[in-house]
Structure 1
Amino acid sequence: MPVPGFKVIHDSVHGSVKVDGLFLDLLERPEMQRLHGVHQLGLAHLVFPGANHTRLEHSLGTYHLARTMSGALELDDQDRSTVLAAALLHDLGHSPYSHTLEEVIHNRTGKDHTGITRDIIMGSLPIMSEASAEVLGRFNPIAEVLEGEGISPQDVTGLISASHLAKDSRQRTLDVDAGQAHFGQKNYLKQIISGPLDVDQMDYLQRDAYYTGVAHGTIDIDRLMQTVAVFHGDLVISKGGMVAVEGLMVARSLMYTSVYFHKTARIAEMMLCKAVEMAPPSVLDDIHMATDCELDSKLTEAGGDAARLMTLLRFRKLYKKAVMLPVSGLDEHQIEHLIELSDYNRRKAAEREIADRAGLKESEVLVDIPDRALLLGEPRIGKTDVAILDGDRVRPLSRYSPLAKAIQSRGVHDWAVMVSTPAKNREEVEKATLKTLFA
């Protein structure tokens, strides 16, 4: 019997996921298979023991939801294929431990994971080591594979990267063609991948809630898919789906507070970042090809403070908070100073100064400003004004929903700065921090 050109994969969140044709070929490529070795939630498993799911699972789930939404919107074959490719490939550029090292890598290379994803797809970065290539053979760039199927790789990477950077991609102007004014751009394609209603967050909120065991990620996916539509080139939800949208907004807000910005998980992630900073720069060579385990080995082999920090992480001997200042307790001067510390190099300088004042090594002081992580890792968090279609008019969700307004004004974390250190140093670091940051 001939081998079927598809696979049905059982996913713990979505059930049976069918992958066929081009997308099955893409799924089996080494760039995708590397994601089996990258934790979706970085080091959150040190706080939530079940959170050992991977970027590969999330990519597959995002593809599945994109397929469902493409059907709901009745996209033509070309747009459907482009959207599905972008959904499946959107996280190829994640380094080990996902968003954890985003800021360090951005500081060293000037690129975030979406820029690296684009380079991988276009073939401007190697996809595996020479030793691996000797075993697996050579692979043409993904861009060539897409082009062979009649899909523009530029369109695919455009959906992944351009939408990631846009603050508000809804159209404000009209094109004029033969005297007829109309909205000409297909903004909805970008918004399917990254926007207030994108399939990326629909998957990760459900998946992360499932594996962490928290009860905040419940989303009425069926209702969202039943009420999603395209209006004047933008992705909208009909008014009948407003409650489902409110549920999505609540789930996102609570997941950021309880999981993504959990204080202990953040300390563990800052320890990993510090290990990378203490290691030779070469540990980040070809980081886009590495898995979590491979990075662990490099950092351990580097010796010194990097190896010490990795040992502490391996046995969950984490730093403790010495100073944590709530957002609500800051005056105008303190806020201005913390805004300055959102700059990576200034924050590193502050860590060194605190360590000097406390008589400690630089590796023993961690300063965390969570807003910086939001800028690099999740720009979409502020996009709570989902477009609601009411008859023939579109209005933002906040016009209808007091709940949406409340979520817009609610911070995703209740602390503005956290300084951590080994437990025995907390008193010295607290004094040094207050002198350094707010003297």
Structure 2
Amino acid sequence: MSFSDQVRDPVHGFILWGKDVARGIVDIVDTPTFQRLRRIRQLAFAHYVYPGATHTRFEHSLGVFHIAGRLADKMKLSRSNRNLVLQAALLHDIGHGPFSHVSENVLEKFYDERKVQLEEKEKIHEMVTWDIIRHDENLARCISSSQKRNDIIKLLSEGYGDQILKDIVSGPLDADKMDYLLRDSLYCGVRYGIYDLDQLISSLVPGDDPSGGKTLMIEPDGLHVVEQFVLAKYYITTQVYFHKVRRVTDAMLTRAVCEGIETDNIDELRQLYTYDGSPEFAHRYLEWDDERLLREYTSERYNGKVIYDIFNRLRYRRLYKLIYSKSVNEFRGEVYYQQLSIMKPDDPRLKKLESVIADSLDKKNYEVIVSLQDVKNVKEAAGSEGPVMVRLKAPEEARPFEQESSLFRSINEKLLERCLDCYLAIEDKNDRRKQEKRVEKVIKEELPVVLGKGGMNDAEHE
């Protein structure tokens, strides 16, 4: 690319490469490492329910770059800090694996605990991103200084310099969310994630951070647009990201890869997802994308493998069916309610329940998926990445958004919405109603038994 180039984007119009943008930033886009993002869809198989949702991490990253630039200009960042923010914005998703968040689940399950020490709140896919920035030769040619690469990594992780730099790239009102809400809404053909981007950026101001630096705040006049932004994020999460077809395709993808590693014993797949922090892992990881993973494991040489069966179901949209879904709150009064409300989604007791259901229906174990799905209430979702602060008339005064917003003060607190779901491979649609009744009966009878074994009390006395 040259500095005079511009990209026509369906969300933001023209994304311009200004003359004040360092050449290395522009060159990043043309690297094979960044171009790989063209082959990783933003929302995995969401296009099976929203046909237009075939957009990728590539255009999203350009959008984040664009908004980060607008925010940097609004905050009057120095040229060096602006370029650092732009580099971090462009590279924030560079570590996404095939089918994006599905790879995150598998990486968390199979990483090498002997070689990788996770700090609190650290995630494996974020560490993969840092390793790619640190070790990738293509990126090194664009960002030649190892110190600059380390600065980008710091900004994407614990932060670098003033808090305001981190806020732009990763915070409650960051460029990432600002882009994906509008982009996902556009490509899905929905309006759940729509908000006034121009007004939101106009309402943001630098405020004094307790540590003595600067942080991103909103002016009192911006309360309503932040309310709109927070509600947009909540509604698109419940209506799009947690749509039942999206949930089942993600569950099938995760199960297929895990079965490919644990049951099919595919060494290549195990190497792909066993993160060990080495440069070799990062190099190997960058060779894979959505297209290659699906093409490879639907080839005839894997016929007879579990991953082949599930991936071909996905390929031809022969999806598992949501056969049972019940709010965990409906189990109140049961002796196992507390366990069910706090247990982790990968708890082995869920696998035991799957096995019992499979046996009762004469199904293979991998044809039954039991999962726990969590949706945060709107207040918790609003503050999940730190408080949004409202800067009051006096520059040194600030108050949390939730206290200043009359709308959010009026919203009643609601418990975390957690659902127990069961997906089933069903070949005969006419058989579905009968299967639903059988699954409901099995869960009602066996859930207390399964949770009673290895439960919290048992573990405490071992």
Q: TM-score, normalised by structure 1?
A: 0.83
2:341–2:418 Cα contact (<8 Å) kept? no
1:437 aligns with 2:439: no
CA contact (8 A) 1:237 1:388 kept: yes
SS at 1:94 equivalent: coil
What is the SS of the residue equivalent to 2:77? Answer: coil
In 2: Cα distance, 1:379 partner to 1:120 partner: 30
> Which residue of 1 is the match for residue 254 of structure 2?
273
Q: 2:220 aligns with which of 232, 239, 243?
A: 239
The number of residues matched between the two structures is 396
Structure-to-structure mapping, 1:344-363, within 5 angstroms: 345-363=348-366
Contact in 2 for aligned 1:41/1:51 (Cα 8 Å): yes
Q: Deviations over 1:274-330 (max 9, x none)?
A: 111221252252344311110002221333221111221122111112221124423
Q: Secondary structure at the match of 2:157?
A: helix
Q: 1:288 to 1:40 in 2, by over 3 A?
A: same
Shift in Å at residue 341 of structure 1?
A: 3.9
Per-residue deviation, residues 28-71 of structure 1 (Å, max 9, x unmatched): 11111000000100111111111000000100000000000000
Q: Which ranges of structure 2 fall in alignment gaps of 5 or more residues?
A: 113-122, 209-213, 261-265, 273-283, 450-462
Are 1:283 and 1:298, in contact at CA under 8 Å, matched by a contact in 2?
no
Q: Pick closer, same or farther for the CA change 1:4–1:89 going to 2, 3 Å.
A: closer
- Cα displacement (A) at 1:387: 0.7
Q: Distance in 1 between matches of 2:183 and 2:225?
A: 17
Q: 1 CA distance for matches of 2:381 and 2:337?
A: 24
Match of 2:68 among 66, 69, 73: 66
* Corresponding position of 1:389: 391
The CA distance in 2 between the partners of 1:207 and 1:273, in whole Å, is 25
Q: Within the alignment, does 1:256 sit opposite 2:237 as a pair? A: yes
**Equivalent position amino acid for 1:318 in 2:** L
2:423 aligned with 1:420: yes
Query: SS of 2:366's equivalent?
Result: helix
Is this contact kept in 2: 1:325–1:416, CA < 8 A? yes
- Cα deviation, 1:53-95, whole Å, max 9, x if unaligned, reads 0000100000000000000000001111111110000001101
Check whether the contact 2:31–2:139 (CA below 8 A) recurs between aligned residues: no
Q: Which runs of 5+ in 1 are unaligned?
A: 128-139, 164-183
**1:113-262 alignment to 2 at 5 Å?**
113-123=125-135, 140=137, 142-143=139-140, 145-148=142-145, 152-162=148-158, 186-232=162-208, 233-262=214-243
Does residue 96 (structure 1) correspond to residue 72 (structure 2)? The answer is no
- Report what 1:32 is aligned to: 34
CA RMSD, Structure 1 to Structure 2 (Å): 2.7
Aligned partners of 2:31 and 2:312: how far apart in 1? Answer: 33
Matched residue, 1:106? 108
Give the conservation status (yes or no) of the 8 Å contact 2:230–2:382.
no
Q: Closer, same or farther in 2 for the Cα pair 1:219/1:34, shift >3 Å?
A: same
Aligned-residue sequence identity (percent) comes to: 32
